[in-house]
Every structure is written in C-alpha cells, then in structure tokens.
Amino acid sequence: MNAQFDRRALLRGATLAGGGFALASHMPAWAQPISQGISRPLPTVSGEDIRLRIAHQMMTIDGRQSHAIGINGTVPAPLIRLREGQNVRLHVENMLDEETSVHWHGLLLPFQMDGVPGVSFPGIPARSTFSYEFPVIQSGTYWYHSHSGLQEQMGHYGPIVIDPQGEDVVQFDREHVIVLSDHSPIHPHAIFRRLKLEAGYFNRQRQTLGGLLAGEGQSASERLMWGGMRMDPADVADVTGTTYTYLVNGHGPQDNWTALFRPGERVRLRIINASAMTTFNVRIPGLPMTIVAADGLNVQPVEIDEFQFGPAETYDAIVIPSEDRAFTLVGESVDRSGMARATLAPREGMIAPVPPLRQRPLATMKDMGMGGMDHGTSGGMDHSAMGHGMAAGSPSAPGPAMDPSMMNHDGAAASSAAVSAAEHAAMGHGQAATGAAAAGMAGMSAADHAAMGHGSGGMDHSMRDFSNAPGVKKGPGVQTISPMPVDRTDFPGQGLEDVPHRALNYRQLMALDRNPDTRAPGRELEIHLTGNMERYMWAFDGEKLSEVKEPIPFRTGERVRITLVNDTMMGHPIHIHGHFFELVTGHGAYAPRKHTVLVQPGGKVSWDMTAEAGDWAFHCHMLYHMHAGMMQVVQVRNEQGEVA
C-alpha cells in the first residue's frame, strides 16, 4: 500500500471521527476526500447569432469559492457548437472595467476577426459590445480565450465543437468535452511578479541534501555540474501545484466531475488543454485510448495509453469501456506536483481508484540541447556528458565525434579514473585533469571538452556560443544557446520516456486525408526560442515583443519551412494564428497538420506552412512566457504589399 493511499485512508478515518476538515485543509486537492461526483455537461450555445457576456464572478472549486472571469456566468465559458458551412455572428459584451477580447483558437477566418488587440483589431473596450462574424469552413475540436492581459488565467476560456457538414468519419455513440485547466487563488499579475522576483518561487520539488543522502535524484557530481551552471534540473514547470488546482470542466479533483457511458459504447473524448501554464500527461488507467484527431483535424487512428500535450493543444480520443465499472481520467501536471481528475462511469456516484502522483522528472543533458551527443541516460544525466559519444565518422553522429577508445561499451577499455575525469569536465572546471584521469581524457577532442563545459569561468562556454545561432540577439535575456539541439518529435515528453506503456509522440501522427498543399517550401526560416530562466525573461531570437521593430514578413500563398530551436530547458507550446502547418516528421503528403506544437527542451521542430493574408500573432502559449515577451507578429502581404 503506497503512502498516498495511506494518507487518504487516514483522512477518511479522521473525517468519520469528526476531525477530517482540519486535516483535509493541509492535503493537496487531488488527495482530499472525493465527492459523489458532478455529471452535468457544460452549458451549450449554438445557432447563427450567439451572445456572450464577459464579467467577474465567483466560482466554486472543491467546495471553496474563488474569484474568476467567466462568460455567461460559467467557467469554463459555454461550449459553442457550430456546423461546418454556416455563418456565425458572435456578439461579445464586455462587462469588465478593462479591455477584453476573444481569440477563436485554431479557427481559419479573416484576420480582422481573429481577436488579438493591437494586431488584428483594437480590442473590446470596457462596457461595450463587439460582434465577430465569419464563415465556418472547418470541423473539429477547438477553443476560445481572451488575448488581453492575463484574463485567460482567471477563467476566460471555453470549448468549441464544429460538426462536419456531412457524415462524421469518426464513429462514436456519445461524446464528452474535457477541458483541462489550472486555477490559482493568487491574482495572475501577483503570480507574474513572484516569477520575476524568483523564477523558482513555486518549485517545491527542488533537490535537497536529504534526497542526496538517500540516493534520490542526481548524483553528487551531477549536482555539482548543474549547480556550477546555475541551473535547476527540477525546474520543469514555472507555476505548480503549490498554488494551482488542476481542473476538469471547471471542477477540482475533489469535485469528481463524471462522464457517463454504457458498457460497450464508443465514447469520444474531446480533450482540450485550456491551461495557462500546465503541460498535462493524460491517461485513463486500465482503458486504452485511440487518438483520432489532433488540434481539430482527423488523423489515422493510433492506440495509446498516455499522451502529453501543452497549453492550447487538443486531442480527440475514442475509448470503449466494456466493463461495468468506473475509470479515472488523470491529467497529471508535467512536474507531477498535482493532477486534474475526472471519472468515467456507467452511473452517477461511482468512484475509481486514483493513482498516486509519480516521481517528478529531472532535466537531462539532452534537455540542455546536447542531444547530438546522447545515446542514453544514466541517473538523469546523459552518457554524452560522461564521454560516451559516437565514434568518429559515424554517419548518424550530428555533433563532435568521440575517440573510439573512450566509448568503453564493453566496460573494459576505459578506467574509472577516466569516467571521473569526464564528470570533472562536465562540472565546468577549467583546470586540466591530472594523472590517470588526464591519460583517460587524452583521446577527447577540443570540441568534446567544450561540449562538456571544460572551459573558463566554471560555465560551459559552448552553452553561450552564439555562432550556433547567428540570428539571436545577444543580451541578458539569452541565458543559453543549445550546442547540439536535435529533432525530438519521436520523444513522448519529459517523464514519459520510461513509462511501461504506450505513450504518444508526434511521429506517430499521420493525417487521415492528403494535405491540401504538398508543394516543397520555397525558403526556410530558423527561429530560436530563448530565455533567461533566472530572470524570467522569454523571447524569440533574444528579442521580446516590445523590442521588435518589424513583423516577420511572408508573401501570400508562399510555402515556408520554419524550424523552431529551443535554447531553453523548458518546453514551449508554439502557436501561430490563422494557419495550420504540417509537421516535418517523414510522412510527406500525410504529415500531421496542427496549429500548436510543443517544442521539447533542447530540441527542435520543423514545419511547413502556406502563408495566409493578414496580420497574425505568433507566440508561446505559456501565458506568462507570452506576457514576458515571447511573441511576435507575422505579416502576410501580396507582391504589392497589400492584404489580398
């Protein structure tokens, strides 16, 4: 019996004894007593004319009231149900004392209706109404949210479902919309201020001396190395379960929101990550999921047990619960500081076992952009940092080669002294190794030494080598440059690489239908995702939005390949408005089309896109990253410089 279950059992016993409320107040939300459940679906609006009223309100989460911004009196906002081929008019009344806006995330529409103040329209002033009007030319699962300030964090978001004009190619007996989000009683501007004062303010899972003595997490040498670089391998999420309650359709874990089914039914789950800052790992223990759509567009079905998705991504999954029992849907935060939970059940009031939080992941050398040297991990640290590189001349080696004498794959060639010296180099020490260690290190090239941090100042100078990113502006906002970033679209996500079940990765996704534009790109553009995690500065190419002088220019209809390089140790869900792009994952005309992609730490992602006329926002969908400056504007014009 695990410790988490023991605490819940103790809590139930204390409740029966009359002392449960005092004890429960000190428990995380996901571990508190579970109610009999809430099976109410989200309120729905539909038709040609839809009215939305944005106002302050209170919301109740796990029995506690909290301030929020809602739409039509609900958080999340009502489900907007549309049909492909219709025209829709959405009249948005702003009852706030400040400007607001609504962005229709993933919808293809005229840029003037896209809803980004200062980019595509002026915003909706306080105490006024703005009407959006556009044709609905697609189907699938999408969502909408504020693009003003930090209102999204306070509850200003809701789901959209667009039914296809003809028969749906995805067959199902019933469906449930699952909106995952995060909520804090702390005002979002106060959260941002705390992150600026101390980027790790909400991280309560840092490594400790007690953990080191217990043999948990990294070894002593690894900790010295990361400490020397002033980096925290436990810094996986900026805002965590220390302040967040993770929600399903506006309800906390204790509320037990419940989705009903009849055994044997094909149930479609439309799962939306509407969080401000949380990458979720989603699974239903004991129940496989078949992914049938990604970001609203149909994909060839792939059966999996878990998937990771970042803010703004959506997945549609088919589940077929054949047993007359309840199942728990788990949305575990990537740093495993908390979880959203719901129940799938044949009847109201049923509860399934809730798994305990799993061990939190630690960043590796690959997450630092040294994936080009990696061929495995050991205790949270890649072997590449310890001198286990690829042989010189290897056709698959993307970075500096290691002398074969140093590879020690059979354990006989290199001495333990050589490994110790490699660890010494990885710590960033500038002094030369001596004795047997020096002999063991002799076969390593200067490039290997640089990649391991063997240089002056105790800081790996290759992590600040701007020759790898000539387009990045030097400044205090760029803490590191990834020395050897690699395509990580085959990676299921931090913490999921060793799970004993099937975890989804982007390369498993293939479009169900042939892509509408299969032309080769006419030009390429590389954009670096940069940041200074200690000072909480985020940008593209080292320039935050307020510093950028010109938009990113495109020509109407041109095909462009964009490569995103993540120079930070944190995942970034990158979204471009008004477009779908094709991920470059080797599937050609059936490449998966998405509007948001989670770029893994130290990794890179390429996509091809066809530019659509207009002014479009392009940004990280981590709300506080965007607020700090990780956003630019894409301007698409014809040859005459006009919006065609």
At residue 210, the pLDDT reads 60
Backbone angles phi and psi of 367, in degrees to 5: -70, -15
- Whether the per-residue pLDDT at 21 is higher than 70: the answer is no
Q: Which of 30-34, 442-446, 511-515, 579-583 has the lowest mean pLDDT?
A: 442-446
CB 112 within 8 A of CB 156: no
pTM above 0.85, yes or no: no
Say how far residue 191 (Cα) sits from the centre of its chain. 19
Residue 22's H or E segment, with its range, is helix 20-24
Where does 299-434 have alpha helices with state H? Answer: 416-426
Say how far residue 365 (Cα) sits from the centre of its chain. 20
At residue 205, the pLDDT reads 75
pLDDT digit string, tens, across residues 256-286: 999 999 999 999 999 999 999 999 999 999 9
- Whether the per-residue pLDDT at 337 is higher than 90: the answer is yes
- Whether the per-residue pLDDT at 355 is higher than 70: the answer is yes
Q: Which of 85-94, 108-117, 396-405, 620-629 has the lowest mean pLDDT?
A: 396-405
Give the whole-angstrom CA distance, residue 291 versus residue 304.
Answer: 7
Domains and CATH numbers, the chain: 468-637 (2.60.40.420)
Q: Is 246 helix (H, G, I), strand (E, B) or coil?
A: strand
pLDDT band at 467 (very low <50, low <70, confident <90, very high): confident
Q: Is 114 helix (H, G, I), strand (E, B) or coil?
A: coil
Arithmetic mean of pLDDT over the chain: 83
pLDDT digit string, tens, across residues 486-543: 999 999 999 999 999 999 999 999 999 999 999 999 999 999 999 998 899 999 999 9
- Picking from 22, 29, 13, the residue whose alpha carbon sits closest to that of residue 354 is 29
| Residue 374 identity (one-letter amino acid) | D
pLDDT band at 182 (very low <50, low <70, confident <90, very high): very high
Give the whole-angstrom CA distance, residue 326 versus residue 276.
Answer: 29
At residue 325, the pLDDT reads 97
Parallel/antiparallel/unpaired status of strands 174-183 and 267-273: parallel
The helix/strand count (H/E) of the chain reads as 9, 34
Interacting residues of 389 by C-beta distance below 8 A, sequence separation 6+: 373, 375, 397, 399, 400, 401, 402, 406, 407, 448
The number of CA neighbours under 13 Å toward the Cβ of 167 is 3
What percent of the chain lies above the pLDDT cut of 90? 69
Q: Which of 13-17, 56-60, 638-642 has the lowest mean pLDDT?
A: 13-17
CB 529 within 8 A of CB 563: no
- Picking from 77, 357, 361, the residue whose alpha carbon sits closest to that of residue 241 is 357
Most confident of the following: 2-11, 231-240, 288-297, 439-448: 288-297
At residue 506, the pLDDT reads 98
CA distances (Å), origin 426, targets 223, 370, 453, 491, 566: 11, 12, 5, 24, 21
Q: Which of 194-208, 559-573, 603-617 has the lowest mean pLDDT?
A: 194-208
- Whether the per-residue pLDDT at 391 is higher than 80: the answer is no
At residue 343, the pLDDT reads 97
CB 270 within 8 A of CB 330: no
What percent of the chain lies above the pLDDT cut of 70? 75
Q: Provide the b/e sequence for 451-490 (b: ≥16 CB within 10 Å).
A: bbbbbeeebbebbbeeebbeebbeeebbbbbbbbbbbbbe
Residue 221's H or E segment, with its range, is helix 220-228
Question: DSSP character for 431?
Answer: S
Give the whole-angstrom CA distance, residue 414 versus residue 10.
Answer: 53
At residue 642, the pLDDT reads 87
Q: In what order do the strands lie in the sheet with 572-576?
A: 552-555, 631-637, 614-620, 572-576, 596-599
Q: Is pLDDT larger for residue 245 or for residue 372? A: 245
Interacting residues of 586 by C-beta distance below 8 A, sequence separation 6+: 507
Give the whole-angstrom CA distance, residue 113 versus residue 134.
Answer: 7
